Amino acid sequence: MQRRTLLTSAAMALLFGKSAFAAAPAIEVFKDAQCGCCTGWIEHLQANGFAVTARNVDDTGVYRRRYGMPDTLGSCHTGRVAGYTIEGHVPAREIQQLLKQRPKAVGLAVPGMPMGSPGMEGKRNDAYDVLLVQADGRSTVYRHYPA
Protein backbone atom coordinates (compact mmCIF):
# COMPACT_ATOMS: atom_id res chain seq x y z
CA MET A 1 0.00 0.00 0.00
CA GLN A 2 2.77 2.34 0.97
CA ARG A 3 4.79 1.41 -2.11
CA ARG A 4 1.79 2.10 -4.30
CA THR A 5 1.38 5.58 -2.80
CA LEU A 6 5.03 6.28 -3.43
CA LEU A 7 4.79 5.11 -7.02
CA THR A 8 1.72 7.22 -7.58
CA SER A 9 3.36 10.39 -6.34
CA ALA A 10 6.43 9.64 -8.41
CA ALA A 11 4.27 9.20 -11.48
CA MET A 12 2.38 12.39 -10.74
CA ALA A 13 5.63 14.28 -10.32
CA LEU A 14 6.73 13.03 -13.72
CA LEU A 15 3.43 13.93 -15.32
CA PHE A 16 3.07 17.40 -13.91
CA GLY A 17 6.68 18.32 -13.37
CA LYS A 18 8.19 19.96 -10.36
CA SER A 19 6.18 23.15 -10.72
CA ALA A 20 2.85 21.52 -9.95
CA PHE A 21 4.15 20.39 -6.59
CA ALA A 22 6.59 23.06 -5.57
CA ALA A 23 5.06 26.12 -7.20
CA ALA A 24 6.25 29.16 -5.28
CA PRO A 25 3.25 31.36 -4.60
CA ALA A 26 3.91 34.78 -6.15
CA ILE A 27 3.29 37.71 -3.83
CA GLU A 28 3.60 41.39 -4.67
CA VAL A 29 4.51 43.63 -1.73
CA PHE A 30 3.98 47.39 -1.56
CA LYS A 31 6.29 48.96 1.00
CA ASP A 32 8.15 52.11 1.93
CA ALA A 33 11.77 52.21 0.74
CA GLN A 34 12.95 52.95 4.31
CA CYS A 35 11.02 50.10 5.94
CA GLY A 36 13.41 47.67 7.61
CA CYS A 37 10.79 45.44 9.16
CA CYS A 38 9.09 45.10 5.77
CA THR A 39 12.35 43.68 4.43
CA GLY A 40 12.47 41.33 7.42
CA TRP A 41 8.97 40.09 6.59
CA ILE A 42 9.86 39.65 2.91
CA GLU A 43 12.86 37.51 3.91
CA HIS A 44 10.56 35.41 6.09
CA LEU A 45 8.27 34.86 3.09
CA GLN A 46 11.19 33.93 0.84
CA ALA A 47 12.49 31.49 3.44
CA ASN A 48 9.06 29.87 3.32
CA GLY A 49 8.99 29.44 -0.44
CA PHE A 50 7.23 32.56 -1.64
CA ALA A 51 8.36 34.37 -4.79
CA VAL A 52 8.29 38.00 -3.67
CA THR A 53 8.17 41.07 -5.89
CA ALA A 54 8.77 44.10 -3.67
CA ARG A 55 7.69 47.54 -4.82
CA ASN A 56 8.77 50.69 -3.00
CA VAL A 57 5.93 53.20 -2.94
CA ASP A 58 5.36 56.60 -1.31
CA ASP A 59 2.12 55.65 0.42
CA THR A 60 1.21 52.04 1.10
CA GLY A 61 -2.24 53.25 2.19
CA VAL A 62 -3.11 53.80 -1.47
CA TYR A 63 -2.66 50.08 -2.11
CA ARG A 64 -4.32 49.03 1.12
CA ARG A 65 -7.45 50.92 0.09
CA ARG A 66 -7.28 49.81 -3.52
CA TYR A 67 -7.23 46.19 -2.44
CA GLY A 68 -10.07 46.45 0.07
CA MET A 69 -8.22 46.42 3.38
CA PRO A 70 -9.70 48.83 5.97
CA ASP A 71 -7.32 51.53 7.25
CA THR A 72 -8.25 50.55 10.82
CA LEU A 73 -6.41 47.24 10.22
CA GLY A 74 -3.44 48.96 8.61
CA SER A 75 0.23 48.15 9.02
CA CYS A 76 3.47 49.06 7.28
CA HIS A 77 3.10 47.07 4.06
CA THR A 78 0.42 45.57 1.84
CA GLY A 79 0.80 42.40 -0.20
CA ARG A 80 -1.22 40.74 -2.93
CA VAL A 81 -1.22 37.00 -3.49
CA ALA A 82 -3.67 35.02 -5.64
CA GLY A 83 -6.29 37.75 -5.40
CA TYR A 84 -5.98 38.13 -1.63
CA THR A 85 -4.68 41.15 0.25
CA ILE A 86 -2.13 40.56 3.01
CA GLU A 87 -1.71 43.48 5.40
CA GLY A 88 1.22 43.68 7.79
CA HIS A 89 3.39 41.05 9.41
CA VAL A 90 1.26 37.98 8.63
CA PRO A 91 3.17 34.71 9.15
CA ALA A 92 3.78 32.63 5.99
CA ARG A 93 1.97 29.73 7.63
CA GLU A 94 -1.39 31.53 7.63
CA ILE A 95 -0.90 32.74 4.05
CA GLN A 96 -0.26 29.16 2.99
CA GLN A 97 -3.37 28.04 4.86
CA LEU A 98 -5.37 30.80 3.16
CA LEU A 99 -4.18 29.67 -0.26
CA LYS A 100 -5.12 26.10 0.56
CA GLN A 101 -8.55 26.85 2.05
CA ARG A 102 -9.43 29.68 -0.34
CA PRO A 103 -12.17 31.25 1.79
CA LYS A 104 -14.32 34.06 0.45
CA ALA A 105 -12.49 37.04 1.96
CA VAL A 106 -10.44 40.15 1.21
CA GLY A 107 -7.46 38.57 2.89
CA LEU A 108 -5.45 38.53 6.10
CA ALA A 109 -4.20 41.29 8.39
CA VAL A 110 -1.96 41.73 11.38
CA PRO A 111 -2.79 45.33 12.35
CA GLY A 112 -0.02 47.52 13.68
CA MET A 113 3.42 46.03 14.10
CA PRO A 114 3.38 43.56 17.00
CA MET A 115 6.74 42.59 18.46
CA GLY A 116 7.55 38.96 17.79
CA SER A 117 5.70 38.71 14.48
CA PRO A 118 7.79 37.76 11.40
CA GLY A 119 10.06 40.70 10.59
CA MET A 120 9.46 42.17 14.06
CA GLU A 121 11.62 39.78 16.05
CA GLY A 122 13.15 41.27 19.15
CA LYS A 123 13.27 40.96 22.89
CA ARG A 124 9.52 40.62 23.34
CA ASN A 125 6.92 38.31 21.88
CA ASP A 126 3.64 40.17 22.16
CA ALA A 127 0.32 38.44 21.68
CA TYR A 128 -1.37 39.22 18.38
CA ASP A 129 -4.11 37.99 16.08
CA VAL A 130 -4.02 37.15 12.41
CA LEU A 131 -7.38 38.40 11.15
CA LEU A 132 -9.42 37.07 8.26
CA VAL A 133 -10.97 40.18 6.73
CA GLN A 134 -14.26 40.29 4.84
CA ALA A 135 -15.34 42.70 2.12
CA ASP A 136 -17.63 44.55 4.56
CA GLY A 137 -14.62 45.26 6.80
CA ARG A 138 -15.57 42.74 9.46
CA SER A 139 -12.95 40.30 10.60
CA THR A 140 -12.55 37.09 12.55
CA VAL A 141 -9.51 35.63 14.26
CA TYR A 142 -7.78 33.24 11.83
CA ARG A 143 -5.04 32.41 14.30
CA HIS A 144 -3.84 33.72 17.62
CA TYR A 145 -0.15 34.10 18.49
CA PRO A 146 1.66 32.92 20.45
CA ALA A 147 -0.10 29.72 19.44
Nearer to Cu ion by Cβ, of 115 and 134: the residue is: 115
3-class DSSP string for the chain: CHHHHHHHHHHHHHHHHHHHHHCCCEEEEEECCCCHHHHHHHHHHHHCCCEEEEEECCCHHHHHHHCCCCHHHCCCCEEEECCEEEEECCCHHHHHHHHHHCCCCCEEEECCCCCCCCCCCCCCCCCEEEEEECCCCCEEEEEEECC
When the beta carbons of 35 and 81 are compared against Cu ion, the nearer one is 35
Closest distance between Cu ion and the C-beta of residue 102, in Å? 27
- Does residue 42 belong to the site contacting Cu ion (CB under 5 A)? no
Q: Which of residues 102-141 bind Cu ion (CB under 5 A)?
A: 113
- Binding status of residue 29 toward Cu ion by CB under 5 A: no
45 touches Cu ion by CB under 5 A: no
> Does position 76 bind Cu ion by CB under 5 A?
yes
Q: How far is the CB of 76 from Cu ion (least distance, A)?
A: 4
> Contact residues for Cu ion (CB under 5 A)?
37, 76, 113
